Amino acid sequence: MEVSTVEDGDMSKLKGLANHDQKNMEENISSNDMIFRADKIDLKSLDVQLEKHLSRVWSSNVENQNQRPREVWEIDPSKLEIRYLVAQGTYGTVYRGTYVNQDVAVKLLDWGEDGMTTAALRASFQQEVTVWQKLDHPNVTKFVGASMGTSNLKILSKNPSEGYTTLPSRACCVLVEFLHGGTLKKYLYKNRKKKLPFKIVIQLALDLSRGLSYLHSEKIVHRDVKAENMLLDTDTTLKIADFGVARVEAQNPQDMTGETGTLGYMAPEVLDGKPYNRKCDVYSFGICLWEIYCCDLPYPDLSFAEVSSAVVRQNLRPEIPRCCPSSLSNVMKKCWDGHPEKRPEMEEVVRLLEAIDTSKGGGMIPEDVAGSCICFRPIRGP
């Protein structure tokens, strides 16, 4: 049998051809052909790199704001003067300010230098603008404008000697009308001993119910109805504020889940992590109605775990005072029914409240007169 041999020169040529073919193969390989060892991939590093990339993209978007047409709701930051701190909330800090000679409340959110830890807050803030800017109702705080990525705003320090503080370039803000009456919560606390005249109780309840009825007609669920999120003007007209967690109602209730809201006002289905709809606002309204009448807080001495369990499992509700007219107490009970489908629509609540006769009184008895008329105890509701 003959054995073929390869001379040294021929061997060199073969090696050259092999190397050339390998190089061509490497150049022509596609991403689909690449194989990675999973244990060699640093997922944490990839996450960090992705976050940094997204942050750079967002920074670029902010820097290029002036190169695109301005949205109808966008303000001119150079015309905004921020004066002093009003309150700090879950979704931002509120200041009083002036914009084009108009008194405004300025809600600010600082996204931080890197923007990496505030993605959820950023999304919430953008959602708030989307919801708020299209609303127009006498019982909803009027939206003035917003700026997503405001720079060079100056805030006057509480100590005048410290002068002004300039905000980071990533700060954004929402402007709404400034209401001089403060929050409903502060108003109720101020009247906790002498209580409110029945006529004022019904007026506040009607303002809130009309505002919520309007939101629901626009397919918007507020999801955080509470006294702290209601503002009053100088003639005690109530207006709904703070749309940080509001959202357009999903057609499929399964798409709306999660514990969203404030303890004491949250509906059983929300506390239990079940799907919910606009009826969670109706439940919260019922608690607010009790609060307006009593000028008191629901469940002041119970922990989150105690309230959650008792509201869901034992039908815990605030105790309605005996002096409360049945026409009003019935509205409370209907609104905070444990079954969402049995709760009335806010449009019906408005009609029920409008039918209540306030000419004969019926308000909460002041503490210095009745003493123990309002004795809150954690009991099982109706």
Q: Indicate which residue of 103, 110, 114, 224 is catalytic.
A: 224
Q: Give pairs for 101-104: CB < 8 Å, separation 24+.
A: 102/144, 102/177, 103/177, 103/178, 104/80, 104/144, 104/175, 104/176, 104/177, 104/178
**Domains of the chain, CATH where assigned:** 77-177 (3.30.200.20), 184-380 (1.10.510.10)
Over residues 218-272, the pLDDT tens digits come to 999 998 899 999 999 999 999 998 765 444 454 444 433 344 557 889 999 999 8
Q: Are 284 and 265 in contact (CB under 8 A)?
A: yes
Over residues 78-98, the pLDDT tens digits come to 888 888 888 876 556 888 999
DSSP state of 240: E
Low-confidence ranges of the chain (pLDDT < 50): 2-6, 14, 29, 31, 36, 114-117, 245-248, 250-259, 372-382
Determine the straight-line distance between the first and last CA of the chain, rounded to whole angstroms: 104
CA distance 2 to 11: 19
The tokens of 213 are what?
A: 């009825």
The tokens of 7 are what?
A: 């001379």
- Taking all residues of the chain, what is their mean pLDDT, rounded to a whole number? 77
What pLDDT does 209 receive? 98
Distances (CA, A) of 255 to 10, 25, 123, 174, 369: 71, 49, 18, 27, 50
What pLDDT does 255 receive? 37
Q: Is 136 among the residues known to form the active site?
A: no
CA dihedral for 56, 62, 64, 70, sign (positive or negative):
positive
CA distance 303 to 134: 38
Query: Could you tell me where the DSSP H helices lie in 85-183?
Result: 119-132
**Residue 317, phi then psi, degrees to nearest 5:** -140, 160
What pLDDT does 43 receive? 59
CA nearest to 247, candidates 271, 280, 207: 280
What pLDDT does 258 receive? 47
